[in-house]
Structure 1
Amino acid sequence: MTYTAASIAELLGGEVVGDGSTLLTGFSAAENARAGDLTFAEKDAYFAAAEASAAAAILVSGPFTSATKVVIRVRNARVAAARVLPLFFPPPEFAAGVHPSAIVDASAQIDATAHIGPCCVIGAGVVIGARTALLGGNHVGTECRIGDDVRLFPNVVLYAHTQIGHRVAIHAGTVIGSDGYGYVFDQGRHLKIPQVGRVVIEDDVEIGANSAIDRAALGVTVIGAGSKLDNLVHVAHNVVFGRHCLVMGQCGFAGSTHFGDYCVIASQSGVAGHLKIGNQVTVGGKSGVTRDVADKETVLGFPAAPHQQTKRQWIAQQKLPDMLVRMREMEKQIAAVATRLG
């Protein structure tokens, strides 16, 4: 696709500095830009690299000017880049219809515009919405509900009674609705507690590859609207995430913990069960949360504590070797004085 600099600026609510009729044929980082490409820059060093590149125009969010490039000024260059990218790299479209190798129960309701790829299995009572695409090898269990414009990438599994909202993307190998980890000890053995709840994934959620979200023991496990989960994330039974939460890779969440809206959980963190995590909470990387966290609090470390407290502790730990040396020297001096006083 080809656009003019002026049309891109109009789309973004920006301003063109230079020739608005300049044709833009692609989008690239400055180091890989070719003639006709649009690129973006947020800082002086990045702008210098963009200006030295072969790109035809630069998206900026500051008072940058160029004698050699067209500049498109916008409020936020990174946000503008995210909005422009789909123009030059439109998402793939999938032809409506059911692949001959798919197995579809007669009671399933599949919108005529949906795409069911090869080797999919669609169970009884399933409902699949408009323009949704199952890309292959997907198993959709009994009574699942899938909204419009959903993408299930290869080998995603939905256990029975899972509910998926609109515009959800679930990446390859992820399992939604598998049994929660629930047992009680009885007469010398671990007795399984039947997991009879379900999972609800609300609208505009994206879930990374090889993640697992467990069905509730009773009730519902929920991923709130607009939330984004990275790869290799485990969400246990009855966990509830609020709206627009961000979860980085390799995180795990024990059962029945509730998160507010706009939480950010950094990579390789874990949160214990039956906790209440407030709105706009941030959990630093590799942290272990073992207590409730209030709204807008940032916690870090194991056990996780307010980030300023944890950082002071880390700094103090770094000073321990020198403190030990000084302490031993003081002990020698004290012993020498005690000998003299003898």
Structure 2
Amino acid sequence: MAKSYRLAELADLLDARLDGDANCLISGLANLDRAQENQISFLSSAKYAASLSECLASAVVLKPSEADAFTGNKLLSEEPYLCYAKLSRLFETRRKRQVGIHPSAVIEEGVTLGANVAIGPHCHVGAGAVIGDDVELYAGVSVGDEAKVGARSILFSNVVIYHQVELGCDVIIHANATIGADGFGFAPSADGWQKIHQIGRVLIGDRVEVGANTTIDRGAIEDTVIADGVIIDDQVHVAHNVSVGEGSAIAGCTGIAGSTDIGKQCQIAGGVGINGHISIADGTYFHGGTVVTKGNKVAGQFASASPLLDIPQWRKASVRYKQLDELFNRVKQLEKQLNEK
């Protein structure tokens, strides 16, 4: 059964100013155009303000400067979107796993289990692994030998944690992610590719979230390191020996080649490709689809790839792109002739 909160309680939680009925009960969270009685909504962008006139929510979180746009109960904050994030935790629908070890799980010798762990069906925990307090392992999770999973972490179904990988506290890893597989290391020889065995680890800090089907490779010699507070979306690939600085965010379908250092508080949009053996400055932002071929020492916003064109325009632009070198040389020649005159 959903829990209800008095509006005054929510105001205290959000550090927001209450304008309205303190005893109004709130039992859900919804968008402005879908919200109903006993639900709370939020206005995080002025472009959605027109929806307020028809909003049926029992309360809305919005900025003080926009308070007059809604006649009902409201919580006033300069950061409505942050308030939304905090509210979402209260109304989350995920059920915690039942504490205990499912009969079908396999726990090898020498495993250290913390208090109140929940290990679901068909999980495997390897020899010498350490599972911290209040950890939840959903069905089919595999934790390798001597790996460590920090307190209050949640590993969803079919997550694979290889040997000696270390996860900090409050880590969330979504379904089918693989942490600690071998990096792509091979040496050419007359007999074909000679495998370079990857003897580093993956070290993941506290409060990190990793999306579904994401892969983070172990280091070749040194460790792959994901610092505290990093968030990584679905279907991201992080190659061996990469380091990602504290608080950085990486969106879906990004690929990061080996031995790249990404600074703190960076934002990497979807579909970005980052070359190996380069360094990215703290606070850098890469626009979606950017191809990063070299590092940067100063923070900035960067983009590459052409914008969307219809097919006839794209064909013309492609032809002209191939003519750039010829046009450049012609311009240089014309400039030379002008200078001589």
| Residue 263 in structure 1 maps to residue 297 in structure 2 | no
Aligned partner of residue 179 in structure 2, secondary structure: strand
Q: Which of 146, 151, 155 is the aligned partner of 2:158?
A: 155
Aligned-pair CA distance for 1:189: 1.4
Instruction: Provide TM-score, normalisation by structure 2.
Output: 0.86
- Deviations 1:157-202, CA, capped at 9 Å, x for gaps: 0111000000000110111100010111122411111111110111
Partner residue, 2:339: none
User: What do you get for the CA RMSD once the two structures are aligned?
Assistant: 2.4
- Equivalent pair of 1:201/1:225 in contact (CA under 8 Å): yes
Distance 2:238 2:46 in 1: 41
Q: Which of 272, 277, 290 is the aligned partner of 2:275?
A: 272
- Equivalent pair of 1:289/1:302 in contact (CA under 8 Å): no
Aligned-pair CA distance for 1:19: 2.2
Distance 1:58 1:14 in 2: 11
Instruction: Provide TM-score, normalisation by structure 1.
Output: 0.86
What pairs with 1:190-339 in structure 2 (closer than 5 Å)? 190-301=193-304
| Residue 82 in structure 1 maps to residue 85 in structure 2 | yes
Distance 2:46 2:267 in 1: 29
Aligned-pair CA distance for 1:52: 1.2
Aligned partner of residue 38 in structure 1, secondary structure: strand
Distance 1:44 1:263 in 2: 26
Q: Which of 4, 28, 49 is the aligned partner of 1:2?
A: 4
Flag structure 2 segments of 5+ consecutive residues without an equivalent: 307-313, 328-341
| Residue 140 in structure 1 maps to residue 116 in structure 2 | no
- Which range moved further: 79-88 or 160-169? 79-88
Aligned partner of residue 68 in structure 2, secondary structure: coil
Partner residue, 1:104: 107
Aligned-pair CA distance for 1:44: 4.5
Aligned-pair CA distance for 1:88: 2.5
- Deviations 1:199-238, CA, capped at 9 Å, x for gaps: 0111100000001111101010011110011110111110
Distance 1:240 1:75 in 2: 34
Flag structure 1 segments of 5+ consecutive residues without an equivalent: 304-313, 328-342
- Which range moved further: 3-12 or 231-240? 3-12
Q: Which letter maps to 2:135?
A: T
Aligned-pair CA distance for 1:251: 0.7
Partner residue, 1:14: 16
Distance 2:223 2:45 in 1: 45
Aligned partner of residue 33 in structure 2, secondary structure: helix
CA 1:203–1:67 in 2, change beyond 3 Å: closer, same or farther?
closer
% identical equivalent positions: 34
Aligned partner of residue 176 in structure 2, secondary structure: coil
Distance 1:37 1:229 in 2: 30
Q: How many residues align?
A: 313
| Residue 57 in structure 1 maps to residue 59 in structure 2 | yes
- Equivalent pair of 2:226/2:245 in contact (CA under 8 Å): yes
Aligned partner of residue 32 in structure 1, secondary structure: coil
- Equivalent pair of 1:51/1:69 in contact (CA under 8 Å): no
